[in-house]
Chains A and B, each alone.
Chain A
Amino acid sequence: MTNANSAPIVRVELPHHLRTLAGTGIEVELTVPAPVTLSTVLDALESRYPMLRGTIRDHVTLKRRPFLRFFACQQDLSHDSPDAPLPAAILSGAEPLIILGAIAGG
């Protein structure tokens, strides 16, 4: 999936509370300039939904918040380099990048 300028359109699935905060549905579609990495997808997400800044990764260090995970294509990408290319199925739009809140708490 690409836009008119051939930039990939990436599907991102958000957890419940971030959907509420950003006022979105389960999934958002983002135009992400190459290279498509976790960093560039999150940059695009935060650019379109500025209220999400600081809720997924730290404002300054850009480190992932500890109780969040990044899943895609049945893989846990949470510990991968944020600058590593994402799987081809993400770029094609066949699979979403899933931002998941850890199942914990009361």
Chain B
Amino acid sequence: MSSVRVLVGTHKGAFVLTSDGKRKDWKVSGPFFAGIDVYHVKGSPVDPNRIYASQTSSWFGQVLQRSNDGGHTWEPVSNKFAYEGETGTHQWYDGTPHPWEFKRVWHLEPSLTDPDTVYAGIEDAAIFRSADGGQSWVELPGLRHHGTGPHWQPGAGGMCLHSIILDPSNSNRVFIAISAAGAFRTDDAGATWKPINRGLRSQYIPDPEAEVGHCVHHIAMHPDRPGILFMQKHWDVMRSDDAGDSWHEISGNLPTDFGFVIDIHAHEPETIYVVPIKSDSEHYPLDGSLRVYRSRTGGNEWEPLTAGLPQQNCYVNVLRDAMAVDSLDQCGIYFGTTGGQVYASADAGDTWTPIVRDLPSVLSVEVQTLP
């Protein structure tokens, strides 16, 4: 019988939640790397026992951890992320030039074909790749050396490269997103990159339709339809039907289109999920009511999903990498909150149950569907 493993990164360590395919009874393991921020934990799609984790600390810097046994034991691998060539500058919050400085790894994206190959999205924004299971890291410098690089600025959380999507139909194509530079795509395996932000409109930058400068919070792609992308921007939920060459808004009837997460049903590429957050000034759900919104039409028409979620006095946030789906026949949806709850739905969002209620603030959630 299939089972699921939920990998949770929190403000004070990582946790591994496991269940059989019924997804009713859960075993909670952890904390791993106790007391330290774990920004992201993700397993290899070709070897689910190979899992990578990013632990990061203001005191002790970055540590990359690797497990070869499904998260039971871990070993540190290389934490050396050295930018290639001249470091250069980006814009600081006040608009002055500021040198690129490595701060932490936000996102780890294991290869679709090789468990030893993994990509890392880092702050200050750049993408690195390891082909030896994390023992060494090499930058794909074409992204940072894109001509617009000196104009990129950090978002409130830092200038982070937080989303990496590998195209399963084209090994040369990778999508990434940076807060607050925008989305980019390479079609030559990372040698060169192009901004893919046409159609985005952001009132908080001098030119609302600028080529770069948009605060993209997260992007998602269904593996069966790699040309279609969904985006939760700072404000606005967006869709592209041409691999990011152009975007159009699909916020529709959402009560607020600010938010961080966006994800897609494993078997229905037009069914998407967001968690609307009140505003960029008030990072919690509207009216203290935690609602996931689902669109079965690829956007614009949204329905609130509330069964099992707190509908009063709830003031948590759901961060950009904190939602994931499993690929069981009845698709499971999972998300974690800054209040430490991890909610699961075994029926595509119709009903929700907390797996755990009192973890540290959740930074990321990933799911592995195991045979």
Interface residues of A (CB under 8 A from B): 15-18, 20-21, 51, 53-56, 59-60, 65, 67-68, 101-102, 105
Contacts and interface: CB of A to CB of B under 8 A. Distances in A.
A59 B79 CA distance: 9
A59 B82 contact: yes
A21 B82 contact: no
Nearest to A67: B59
Interface in B78-113: 79-80, 82
Contacts of A60: 82
Interface in B57-78: 57-63, 76
Contacts of A53: 79-80
Contacts of A101: 59-60
Contacts of A21: 60, 63, 76
B59 A51 contact: no
Contacts of B59: 15, 17, 65, 67-68, 101-102, 105
Contact of A51 (B36, B57, B58, B76): B76
Contacts, number: 42
B35 interface: yes
B63 A51 contact: yes
Nearest to A17: B60
Given A17-B36, A105-B58, A55 B63 contact: yes
Contacts of B62: 54
B222 to A, nearest CB: 37
Nearest to A105: B58
A11 to B, nearest CB: 20
In the complex, the 5 A-B pairs of residues with the closest C-beta atoms, listed nearest first: A51-B76, A55-B60, A67-B59, A101-B59, A54-B79
A102 B59 CA distance: 8
Contacts of A65: 59-61
Tell me the interface secondary structure of chain B in the complex: loop
B35 A17 contact: yes
Nearest to A100: B59
Given A53-B80, A55-B60, 9 more contacts: A15-B60, A17-B59, A17-B60, A54-B80, A59-B79, A60-B82, A65-B60, A67-B58, A68-B59
A19 B80 CA distance: 20
Contact of A55 (B34, B35, B79, B82): B79
Contacts of A18: 60
A56 B178 CA distance: 28
A20 B31 CA distance: 13
Contacts of B76: 21, 51
A14 to B, nearest CB: 10
A20 to B, nearest CB: 8
A11 B62 CA distance: 25
Nearest to A101: B59
Nearest to A58: B61
B50 to A, nearest CB: 19
A17 B57 contact: yes
Contacts of B80: 53-54, 59
B61 A54 contact: yes
Contacts of A17: 35-36, 57, 59-60
Contacts of A55: 60-61, 63, 79
A59 B137 CA distance: 13
* Residue of A16, A18, A21 with most partner-chain B CB within 10 A: A21
A51 B74 CA distance: 12
